[in-house]
Amino acid sequence: MAEPLRIALAGLGTVGAGVIRLVEANKALIARRAGRPIEIVAVSARDRTRDRGVDMSRYAWEDDMVILGERPDVDVVVELVGGSDGPALACARTTIEAGKALVTANKAMIAHHGLELAAKAEAAKVALKFEAAVAGGIPVIKGLREGAAANAIDRVYGILNGTCNFILSTMEDTGRDFADVLAEAQKRGYAEADPTFDIEGTDAAHKLSILAAISFGAKIDFGAVDTMGISRLLAADIAQADALGYVIRLIGMAEADLTGAAPRMFQRVQPHLVPFDHPLAHVDGATNAVVAEGNFSGRLLFQGAGAGEGPTASAVAADLIDIARGEIGAPFSVPVAELEAMAPADTGHRLGRAYIRFAVADRPGVLAEITAAMRDAGVSIESLIQKGRAGPDGQVLVAMVTHEGPESAVSEALRLLEGSASLAAAPLVMQILGE
């Protein structure tokens, strides 16, 4: 048997402990499939004394994770600390600069610094792999980078945040409101104490920017992702979507727009109405799913557990097996120098159907005011639901679905209504996922 691939782990939280458990539990089959053993030799974390449920005494300990990659007995550093900058980024840089491979589950770091790190890795001819950064245990980076490599992909979208999907599908099943379900998710460990990154869509936006770059051969542009979370959703939105034949899912959606002189990129994270018969409508709980549309493959769907110790460890270990097998390619499928810089697409011209929910004062003339604004902006209304009675706050919800039309028309209608005394709160707009 060939020489082992020697691993150092930076970060010993849930995923780090999971990687240790996996590498131990599946040792023999990993060696058979990788062609050589994979051995953990060194670890680093903030707190050496914490009981992690696995025996750490077999591994060398480093207080400073940044120097793991400089150890002569280490071939690959697995970074599981998280955070876009700070120690994770320092560790990534020193590892690659030391000529060692880096495997990471850190979506924030890749979204912000992936191009720099990939360029460094290409120059050093070492692997930089991040399967675990997107959609947990689902091999979707590999699916896009290799499985669909022969295709021009012009659209990639999916359910990229398990916390939001757990909250939305629980709201759907129970009729409970957002805050209530979030509190339960926190208690059960499905949501962080500070859930902002998840519920405001930032985590999904990190992942979407990575998927878009690989799918379109584009430079990552996380800053251009138009991001809206799920915290403004009401139980009433879910109920009204249901009555109209939809479920609500937080969808990350990216499209390559090749219609102009220079290619542009559309990237948006937003709750969408998903028709009951769409495959993503059946993705419940903490599950993730990604759809990619290739010009020859057609629509491909990848689905599985989006987070958790086991699935994330599975993705990390798949990267390690690739490296053990000698498969070191361009991290973003094409070399960084050949990635296109795509400016953000203009969204006003996009055609689609939208769900718009207004919270209005319960008095005569309000519906006339709203529908007049729609008419004046050229928005055609397909259906409209007004809840009969005002709530204790004296507000009434009015929800409508538009016929297909430009997004700019909806924006214009909302602009006409801005400042109206009839509106008790800013309207909520969600796109309807098409075929």
SS3 376: helix
With contact defined as beta carbons under 8 Å apart, do 152 and 316 qualify?
A: no
> How many of the other CB atoms lie within 10 Å of CB of 205?
28
**Between residues 189 and 364, which has the closer beta carbon with respect to its own copies?**
189
Q: Is 131 among the residues that bind its own copies (CB under 8 A)? A: yes
Q: Is 322 among the residues that bind its own copies (CB under 8 A)? A: yes
Q: From CA 230, how far away is CA 211, in angstroms rounded?
A: 21
Q: From CA 397, how far away is CA 385, in angstroms rounded?
A: 8
β-partners of residue 78 are: 9, 103
**How big is the CA angle at 200 (ends 196 and 204), to the nearest 5 degrees?**
105
Which residues 100-129 are close enough to bind its own copies by CB under 8 A? none
Q: From CA 53, how far away is CA 330, in angstroms rounded?
A: 36
Q: From CA 73, how far away is CA 279, in angstroms rounded?
A: 47
Which residues 410-429 are close enough to bind its own copies by CB under 8 A? none
Per the residue annotation, which of 125, 142, 207, 219 is the catalytic one? 207
**Between residues 35 and 378, which has the closer beta carbon with respect to its own copies?**
35
**Between residues 139 and 427, which has the closer beta carbon with respect to its own copies?**
139
- Which residue in 250, 300, 356, 423 binds its own copies (CB under 8 A)? 300
β-partners of residue 275 are: 246
With contact defined as beta carbons under 8 Å apart, do 302 and 140 qualify?
A: yes
- Which residue in 120, 142, 249, 357 binds its own copies (CB under 8 A)? 142
Quote the least distance from Cβ 279 to its own copies, whole Å: 6
Q: Is 295 among the residues that bind its own copies (CB under 8 A)? A: yes
Structure tokens at 158: 């999916």
With contact defined as beta carbons under 8 Å apart, do 227 and 200 qualify?
A: yes
Rg (CA), the chain: 24
Quote the least distance from Cβ 283 to its own copies, whole Å: 8
- CA nearest to 331, candidates 78, 136, 127, 84: 127
- CA nearest to 408, candidates 396, 416, 419: 416
Compute, in degrees rounded to 10, the torsion defined by CA atoms 3, 5, 8, 9: -140
**Between residues 148 and 265, which has the closer beta carbon with respect to its own copies?**
148
**Between residues 146 and 200, which has the closer beta carbon with respect to its own copies?**
146
Q: Is 158 among the residues that bind its own copies (CB under 8 A)? A: no
Active site residue 207: yes
**Between residues 315 and 377, which has the closer beta carbon with respect to its own copies?**
315
Q: From CA 209, how far away is CA 348, in angstroms rounded?
A: 21
Q: Is 64 among the residues that bind its own copies (CB under 8 A)? A: no
> How many of the other CB atoms lie within 10 Å of CB of 92?
28
Quote the least distance from Cβ 216 to its own copies, whole Å: 10
Q: Is 301 among the residues that bind its own copies (CB under 8 A)? A: yes
Which residues 188-227 are close enough to bind its own copies by CB under 8 A? 217
Quote the least distance from Cβ 322 to its own copies, whole Å: 6
Q: Is 297 among the residues that bind its own copies (CB under 8 A)? A: yes
Quote the least distance from Cβ 145 to its own copies, whole Å: 8
- Which residue in 69, 143, 195, 229 binds its own copies (CB under 8 A)? 143
**Between residues 190 and 197, which has the closer beta carbon with respect to its own copies?**
190
- CA nearest to 213, candidates 93, 118, 285: 118
List Cβ neighbours of 150 (8 Å cut-off, separation of 6 or more): 294, 296, 297
With contact defined as beta carbons under 8 Å apart, do 288 and 138 qualify?
A: yes
- Which residue in 5, 7, 10, 30 binds its own copies (CB under 8 A)? 30
Site mask for its own copies (CB under 8 A), range 8-27, x = bound: ----------x---x--xx-
Residues touching its own copies, count (CB under 8 A): 58
Which residues 331-390 are close enough to bind its own copies by CB under 8 A? 333-334, 338
Q: Is 98 among the residues that bind its own copies (CB under 8 A)? A: no
Which residues 229-288 are close enough to bind its own copies by CB under 8 A? 277, 279, 282
- Which residue in 16, 114, 139, 158 binds its own copies (CB under 8 A)? 139
**How big is the CA angle at 30 (ends 25 and 34), to the nearest 5 degrees?**
165
Q: Which residues participate in catalysis according to the annotation?
A: 207
Q: Which residues make up the interface to its own copies (CB under 8 A)?
A: 18, 22, 25-26, 29-30, 32-35, 131, 137-139, 142-143, 146-152, 217, 277, 279, 282, 289, 294-305, 308, 310-311, 313-315, 317-318, 320-322, 325, 327, 329-330, 333-334, 338
